[in-house]
Structure 1
Amino acid sequence: MKKIVITGLTVFMVFLLAVPAFAAAGSSLGTKAVMSPQFQHIWQMSAGLGIDSSGKAHCTGSADVASTTYKANLTVSLQKNTNGSWSTVKMWTGSAVGPGLVVQGDYYVTGGTYRACSTVQVYSSAGTLIETESLYSAEKTY
């Protein structure tokens, strides 16, 4: 019985800690930052940015929270560096109760250096904000 429980817990943990893949063959897509697990109520979060040869930026972010009763708000921002200062060009948002939240979007950029920022806000089942964290992708120049 003990062996079955340990095996079941191992399989369960493997599925919970799986990180979504982000890749594209033959393009500049695929730069992604992943944090897992570093926070109190966030099990995993990621921020990814790819820019193809036509200037189409693909931003993606994901978050997994520690309880199925927690609500997560995820904002993914495309940011541009202008003279050393980062400004938001485009933003996408989503929310869900429990783990498994993914937000993504596309936007055509002009020349410059860009990054994606994922910001996760976690709310308890009572509606109280209990954690906010941000994560940035690697920078991409177009």
Structure 2
Amino acid sequence: MNLQEKPPFATPFEWIGGEERVRLLVDRFYDLMDLEPGYAALRAAHGSTLSNARQRLFWFLCGWLGGPQHYTERFGHPRLRARHLPFAIGIRERDQWLGCMDQAMGETGVDEALRARLRESFFQTADWMRNRGEHHEQAASA
């Protein structure tokens, strides 16, 4: 392994700067969702208030990034796909979520190397959560 490939911290949680920085990222993510017209479909999927979503994403990301397991201590395994099945998540919602998170990472100063790694991981997770889209619609009409 090339020494330059080794992350400078033991976990992404440490790399991002701990709970304070995760909270800053999550708050900016939801603020952008409220402010930017380009995230309207994503915002509409979240209902009238974002406070519950803010807290749960903060708890989840802390653990997902390798920090304290706040989410699993409260709710058990995240079961992300199952918990999101009631919501229509297609390519548009996936792409708006990813765009909003990437913008939030940029605006909160997430290190560029970490941002690139997270962008890839977020894409894999967000794409796996899709429950609407071309392949689903084709299967339903077959």
TM-score by length of 2: 0.24
- Identify, as 1 or 2, the structure richer in helix: 2
Larger radius of gyration: 1
Higher strand share: 1
Query: What TM-score comes out, normalization by structure 1 length?
Result: 0.24
Of structures 1 and 2, the one scoring higher in RCO (CA 8 A, sep 6+) is 2
